[in-house]
Chains A and B, each alone.
Chain A
Amino acid sequence: MKPVIEIKNLTKDYMLGSQKVHALRGVDLSIHEGEFVAIMGASGSGKSTLMNIIGCLDEMTSGTYLLDDTDVSSLKPDQYADIRNQKIGFVFQSFNLLARTTALENVELPLLYDRSHRIENAKKKALECLDMVGLTERAHHEPNQLSGGQQQRVAIARSLVNEPAILLADEPTGNLDSRTSVDVMKLFQELNNQGITIVLVTHEPDISLYAKRKVVLLDGRIVKDEVVTKRLNANEELKRLKEVDDEVA
């Protein structure tokens, strides 16, 4: 299988006041189609920086980065915008939905900026994506009328609408309770089963267990890269939680 992401010797420095911070000190990472990778690490380990660079939100200092066979090491800002628009779906910790804008309009948003016009009927496509995350009936609700879990699912639908090569999730469960977190992880696992490549940043070890592969960062370097052995199935986990609830009741 061909790699979707191929990163070699990636470094990232930035200035914090007068001090130079080495956020990433030479990262090598290959992610193949259909993988489900969890990037772990303590805060300050550089995992968010890595995520931003993978997501073309931030520029790297040195190294090479091939995304879906495109060399994105030396692109101009507009080209970065196009890559974000066409190859990447982003899910954030704080959902980042537009306020006072319906779920449907939020999901349509990336297609508004699509210059390639790959997707003909934006509205139809957006409704399909909302259907994938099980929110068809909520299409015309605004974010403040939705629960946190529902908002995050709208955000996931939005990240899928442009048929990206890869779905990036930055602490997607950080603002959710544990039950809803499992809900969202179930959705990720289903999407991954359909063949969507997912990279997930989290600091919660149990969340990483839903992924297939775990990469651990420490001080800007990858210190562990392994297959998740005791992988959790979100569906079964939900059933188990329900049983626990029933027992308590």
Chain B
Amino acid sequence: MKWLNILKVSLLSIMKNKMRSFLTSLGIIIGVCSVIVMVGVGRGSSKQIEQNIQSMGTNMIIVGNARFRFRGVSSSDRNELSFDDVEFLQENGKNFTDISANVRTSAQVVANGNNINTSIEGVEPPYLNIRKWEIETGTMFTDRDVTSKKKVCLLGQTVIEELYGDSGIDPVGSRIRIRNTPFKVIGTLKEKGENQMGHDQDDLILMPVTTALYRLKGGTSLDQIYISANSAEVVDQAIAEVEQLMLRAHEQADLENADFWVRSQSELTDMMTSTADTMTALLAAIAGVSLIVGGIGIMNIMLVSVTERTREIGIRLSVGARGKDVMMQFLTESIVLSMIGGITGILLAFGLIFILNNYAGLPAVAEPKIITISFLFAGFVGVFFGWYPARKASRLNPIDALRYE
């Protein structure tokens, strides 16, 4: 019997029993739909957490001066962070490229007749990338500005609000005085909001690290070095690398007693995303159970159908159908039913995810991988649970089948 014929016979049989076919597929529809939606919701929230953390720079590694040492050696072997360290890290780092020296201070700022105290960060251009800062208007200063200790700065949104308020003045291009030194504002930073500790991240002014260090703060040592690992996957390697390089640069024996510290935010990320992933797996497992229950539903209906259609099977056998033909017919029916269920379930899931995203404010993503897997699984369920009833049908004796009332 040709494949096309088998498919035709199966489709006809499905079409002739629309209600039964629909109810049979329902289990698969719900199963596939819930797997996709559940995983979608799980992944959605996990993505949201990741984005939250990434807004602070997930791949970020910070090196700082270990100022307080309780069991330290004499102070003579202590080095502060310096531009040499930055250069050394830059030259030898393999898992990171973005690196920025950082100097912090706070200062009195005057502009537009207003006077505020805010924190000043002296940084290098890669800092924006490391911290995931974005420019609202204007531009970032350049490496050249850093070299020439240029008196330019970028303002955070809180600073702008307090200095310019409703005056309608465009801060970009205007001049401000920081500790009585005139600076040109070349850009503004996008709003970032509070960080996880409740600190207002927008209450700051960025300027070239050299300008901050030599013109405002004085001294030669850096406060921190900000580094961004090339990707989330290599954060751990990058940390290890930074630690080793710093030990060499500062000629220190071990990390515990070193004159610097290295921290990263990857641990926090790991913890939070792994919680989300566990939730996703749990949701997927529950939904997966419903898919299996759907499969059992198919087997149930197919078994009933074999009994109910014993006479039909007898007729087919008596006009020359082989056992294999009957088996293929029933197997095809069950596969087609579960495939139809799978496709309907996928469409339904798309609809639900759309509704969740747009009307329920619950972020959900339709993952192509999960869609493929659940569709294939639906097909597998069709084969697996259709096989037994199909075999049962194919083993009927034509005479007994014909006599069946």
Q: Which residues of A contact B (CB under 8 A)?
A: 52, 55, 57-58, 77-78, 81-82, 84-86, 90, 92, 96-101, 109-110, 112-115, 158, 162
Residue B268 lies at the interface, judged by CB distance under 8 Å to chain A: no
Q: Are A96 and B320 in contact (CB under 8 A)?
A: no
Q: Are A84 and B16 in contact (CB under 8 A)?
A: no
Which residues from chain A contact B311 at a C-beta distance below 8 Å?
96
Which residues from chain B contact A96 at a C-beta distance below 8 Å?
311, 314-315, 318, 402
With both chains docked as a complex, state the minimum distance between the C-beta of A100 and any C-beta of chain B, in angstroms.
5
With both chains docked as a complex, state the minimum distance between the C-beta of B400 and any C-beta of chain A, in angstroms.
10
Q: How many residues on B have C-beta within 8 angstroms of the other chain's C-beta atoms?
A: 22
Which residues from chain B contact A100 at a C-beta distance below 8 Å?
16
Binds A, one of B25-33, B78-86, B321-329, B376-384: B321-329
- Interface of B, helix, strand, loop or mixed by DSSP: helix
- CB nearest to B323 among chain A residues: A77
Q: How far is the CA of A101 from the CA of B312 in the complex (A)?
A: 11
Which residues from chain B contact A115 at a C-beta distance below 8 Å?
1
Known: A78-B324, A96-B311. A110 touches B319 (CB 8 A): yes
Q: Are B320 and A162 in contact (CB under 8 A)?
A: yes
Q: Are A113 and B318 in contact (CB under 8 A)?
A: no
With both chains docked as a complex, state the minimum distance between the C-beta of B164 and any C-beta of chain A, in angstroms.
80
Partner of A90, one of B1, B16, B318: B318
CB proximity to A under 8 Å, residues B247-266: none
20 additional A-B pairs beyond A97-B315, A113-B325, beta carbons within 8 Å, are A55-B318, A57-B398, A81-B322, A81-B325, A82-B320, A85-B319, A85-B320, A90-B319, A92-B402, A96-B314, A96-B315, A96-B402, A99-B312, A100-B16, A101-B16, A109-B316, A110-B320, A112-B5, A113-B319, A113-B320
Which residues from chain A contact B399 at a C-beta distance below 8 Å?
52, 57-58
Q: How far is the CA of A52 from the CA of B314 in the complex (A)?
A: 13
Residue B130 lies at the interface, judged by CB distance under 8 Å to chain A: no
Which residues from chain A contact B321 at a C-beta distance below 8 Å?
81, 85, 113
Q: Are B315 and A98 in contact (CB under 8 A)?
A: yes
Q: Are B312 and A77 in contact (CB under 8 A)?
A: no
- CB nearest to A155 among chain B residues: B315
- CB nearest to A159 among chain B residues: B319
With both chains docked as a complex, state the minimum distance between the C-beta of B247 and any C-beta of chain A, in angstroms.
78
- CB nearest to B319 among chain A residues: A110
Which residues from chain B contact A58 at a C-beta distance below 8 Å?
399
Q: How far is the CA of A112 from the CA of B320 in the complex (A)?
A: 9
Q: How far is the CA of A55 from the CA of B399 in the complex (A)?
A: 11
A-B contacts, 6 of them at CB < 8 A, read A52-B399, A57-B398, A81-B320, A90-B318, A112-B1, A112-B9
Ranked nearest first, the 6 interchain pairs of A and B with the lowest CB-CB distance are: A85-B320, A110-B319, A81-B322, A84-B320, A113-B320, A113-B321
Q: How far is the CA of A191 from the CA of B177 in the complex (A)?
A: 115
Which residues from chain A contact B324 at a C-beta distance below 8 Å?
78
Residue B209 lies at the interface, judged by CB distance under 8 Å to chain A: no
Q: Are A77 and B322 in contact (CB under 8 A)?
A: yes
Residue B317 lies at the interface, judged by CB distance under 8 Å to chain A: yes
Q: Are B322 and A113 in contact (CB under 8 A)?
A: yes
Partner of B319, one of A77, A84, A99, A101: A84
- CB nearest to B9 among chain A residues: A112
With both chains docked as a complex, state the minimum distance between the C-beta of B19 and any C-beta of chain A, in angstroms.
13
With both chains docked as a complex, state the minimum distance between the C-beta of B342 and any C-beta of chain A, in angstroms.
26
Which residues from chain B contact A112 at a C-beta distance below 8 Å?
1, 5, 9
- CB nearest to A84 among chain B residues: B320
Q: Are A109 and B319 in contact (CB under 8 A)?
A: yes
A-contact bits for B309-349, CB 8 A (1 contact / 0 none): 00110111111111111000000000000000000000000
Q: How far is the CA of A131 from the CA of B384 in the complex (A)?
A: 44
Q: How far is the CA of A90 from the CA of B317 in the complex (A)?
A: 11
Which residues from chain A contact B323 at a C-beta distance below 8 Å?
77-78, 81
Which residues from chain B contact A78 at a C-beta distance below 8 Å?
322-324
A-contact bits for B129-147, CB 8 A (1 contact / 0 none): 0000000000000000000
Which residues from chain B contact A98 at a C-beta distance below 8 Å?
312, 315
With both chains docked as a complex, state the minimum distance between the C-beta of A76 and any C-beta of chain B, in angstroms.
10
Q: How far is the CA of A113 from the CA of B1 in the complex (A)?
A: 5
With both chains docked as a complex, state the minimum distance between the C-beta of B234 and any C-beta of chain A, in angstroms.
62
With both chains docked as a complex, state the minimum distance between the C-beta of B65 and any C-beta of chain A, in angstroms.
86
With both chains docked as a complex, state the minimum distance between the C-beta of A60 and any C-beta of chain B, in angstroms.
13
Q: Are B312 and A84 in contact (CB under 8 A)?
A: no
